Structure 1
Amino acid sequence: MNYRKLTPSMSLLLAFEASARHESFTRAAEELSLTQSAVSRQVQALEAMLDLALFTREGKRIIPTDIGRAYMAEIAHALTLIRSATLQALTANAPKTQLRVATLPTFGAKWLLPRLHRFYQTHPDLQIDLDSRIEAADFSTQDLDAAIVVGDGRWPGVTAHRLYAEELVLVGNPAALPFAKKLKRRAVAPTIESLEGLTLLRVRSFPDAWREWCAHFGLRHDALRPGPSFELTSHLIQAVVAGIGVGLVPRMLVEDELNENRLLSPFEAVPSSRSYYLVYPERAQRHPVLVAFRDWLLEELAGRQ
């Protein structure tokens, strides 16, 4: 066996892995800062070297063959190990005082940032660099140490610490909820009649929120009127304050608006199927700043469980 054939160059493997992951030479080229034709040539060179068809071409689309898909999975794992080893080597002698954390935009703005000064009071020499992002964190391709995400806790290949079990509350502008003025906050269960005529605002990342909420109270979800959807929870909250409709939001993200009576929540909070988590890859588990940040987060949120 020709051992050179078994060890393609890194440039060929990077071009192939990115192309297979995106199923697009164009998107792979954007990720690798190359031209589309350069990526295509590198993939063709790898196919010629291995004497294998790694993709089928359908017009401008490329679809990995069964062999190509299996090869991509193995190559992606190997590249993750190489990147991790390289990162550890580069940072071995550097003092670890910084941590790069991705966080959900609304959670970061409305809960984390107002409290982060307390972390710095006890850790003045450490630094948390925050990235706001909605999409899932990919620790194999993104320069991140950790992320705060929401979901069911099932993320393969990462360590996940549950921070807070999400509770959803229906909120509305007091003027849009005339019936609620007669009710003690969260004193009674909603009825279809009490919700008639209201526009239900939604967050795209949680399309089943209203279905879960209605199921909790035994209401028919299809009997209510769906309204606009929003990418960010903060935008939905602003729309509710403006009186466009009512929304379901995590209670911890609207406490200021409720306390200031800009929003009203007439019904009890409902546990959702999701929780907030701090997640990070195995390579970061001994990062001293991560350990400090993780312990601080868990302590801050311990009283909310």
Structure 2
Amino acid sequence: MNPRRLTPSMSLLVAFEAAARHCSFTKAAEELALTQSAVSRQVQALEAQLEIELFRREGRKIELTAAGAVYQHELAAALGRIRSATLQTISYKNDGGPLNLAVLPTLGSKWLLPRMHEFYAKHPQILVHIHSRIIREDVQSATHDMTAIICAGSGAWPGYISHKLLTERLVVVASPAALPDYPGLSPADVAEHALLNVVSRPSAWSDWFDQHNVDHANLRAGPSFELTAHLIQAVTAGIGLGLVPEILVQDELKNGDLVALFEPMESGRDYYLVYANRYQNLPSLKAFSAWLLSLPFQTEKN
């Protein structure tokens, strides 16, 4: 097949996508600053090139055919990526531009977002669009539409640059209102309480029991949660004990909503800022990375 047939000109594609989105040549023409007849001719030229009808025309009314609807769906995503890539390229001109960042939900809401005003004070021209995602070790999947991600893992991701932010430490927390005798609690006593966990950490409590030489047979499993933020709320409400990253409960420990029962335990994971090699010289990312790495990541002592 002729390659030209498979790669229509951008003007034809843009005219079709706008007309398909509005189901109107007139509205597409207004959006593109063209005449209605010009848009209609471009769509007809595209149909002739593809040798398939994309619209059904009934008088002045148009409607997508089945083929046209599928084509518009795929094309809209492709044009979106092209526009995003163009916007990122333009950002080199003034060291600004947008940055799409995926971050673990609780880390984003409880640690990153409260500090973002400091970044904007230094870089008001850069917009950071923050997306909450539960990110596993599959960094490629997590970053396919992101400039960078903040995740927990090993840091060994070929093809990606990773900056270690901090070593994760897990701490047992409880509500002092629900557990007034917490000062005298021993590791063995923990097994007598409902132990809440996050579904992505099924072995966290087992690892903690191993470290404190407590028999697993005494482990009393409590409810599971997808988000650490929900687990923290459940512990605060007195539902049970939680084993959570220390950095995520600093506010609760400081204001007395929660208490830490024992010394923190390293989880074996670290938090990283991660991005693909191709983005390493993007001005907005360089500015964000430098700011993020300048922050004091050590948790505060209570």
TM-score > 0.5, shorter chain as reference: yes
Contact 1:164 1:304 in 2 (8 A): no
Aligned partner of 1:123 in structure 2 is 123
Aligned partner of 1:191 in structure 2 is 187
* TM-score normalized by the length of structure 2: 0.66
Aligned-pair CA distance for 1:97: 2.1
Aligned partner of 1:102 in structure 2 is 102
Report the more deviating stretch, 160-169 or 139-148: 139-148
Contact 2:166 2:298 in 1 (8 A): no
Percent identity over paired residues: 44
Amino acid in structure 2 at the alignment position of 1:243: G
Aligned partner of 1:273 in structure 2 is 268
Contact 2:160 2:276 in 1 (8 A): yes
- Partners of 2:165 and 2:233 lie apart in 1 by 26
Report the more deviating stretch, 242-251 or 96-105: 96-105
Question: Which residue, 174, 185, 188 being the options, matches 1:172?
Answer: 174
Aligned partner of 2:146 in structure 1 is 144
Report the more deviating stretch, 135-144 or 238-247: 135-144
* TM-score normalized by the length of structure 1: 0.66
Aligned partner of 1:249 in structure 2 is 244
Contact 2:235 2:241 in 1 (8 A): yes
SS of residue in 2 equivalent to 1:102:
strand
Question: Which residue, 148, 153, 156 being the options, matches 1:154?
Answer: 156
Amino acid in structure 2 at the alignment position of 1:128: V
Residues 26-41 of structure 1 correspond to what in structure 2 (within 5 A)? none
Aligned-pair CA distance for 1:282: 0.9
**Rg: which structure is higher?**
2
- Partners of 2:142 and 2:196 lie apart in 1 by 35
1:62-96 Cα offsets, whole Å, 9 max, x none, are xxxxxxxxxxxxxxxxxxxxx99997667434444
- Partners of 1:220 and 1:301 lie apart in 2 by 37
SS of residue in 2 equivalent to 1:276:
strand
Matched, 1:112 2:112: yes
Aligned partner of 1:132 in structure 2 is 132
Aligned-pair CA distance for 1:292: 1.2
Aligned partner of 2:89 in structure 1 is 92
Contact 1:174 1:264 in 2 (8 A): yes
- Partners of 1:262 and 1:138 lie apart in 2 by 38
Aligned-pair CA distance for 1:283: 1.1
Aligned-pair CA distance for 1:162: 1.0
Residues 46-85 of structure 1 correspond to what in structure 2 (within 5 A)? none
Question: Which residue, 200, 204, 211 being the options, matches 2:199?
Answer: 204
Number of equivalent positions = 229
Contact 2:88 2:97 in 1 (8 A): no
Amino acid in structure 2 at the alignment position of 1:219: V
- Partners of 1:158 and 1:85 lie apart in 2 by 22
Q: CA RMSD in A?
A: 3.3
SS of residue in 1 equivalent to 2:162:
strand
Question: Which residue, 223, 226, 229 being the options, matches 1:228?
Answer: 223
Matched, 1:285 2:280: yes
What stretches of structure 2 of length at least 5 have no aligned partner? 8-65, 72-79
Aligned partner of 2:254 in structure 1 is 259
Contact 1:203 1:231 in 2 (8 A): yes
Contact 1:139 1:145 in 2 (8 A): no
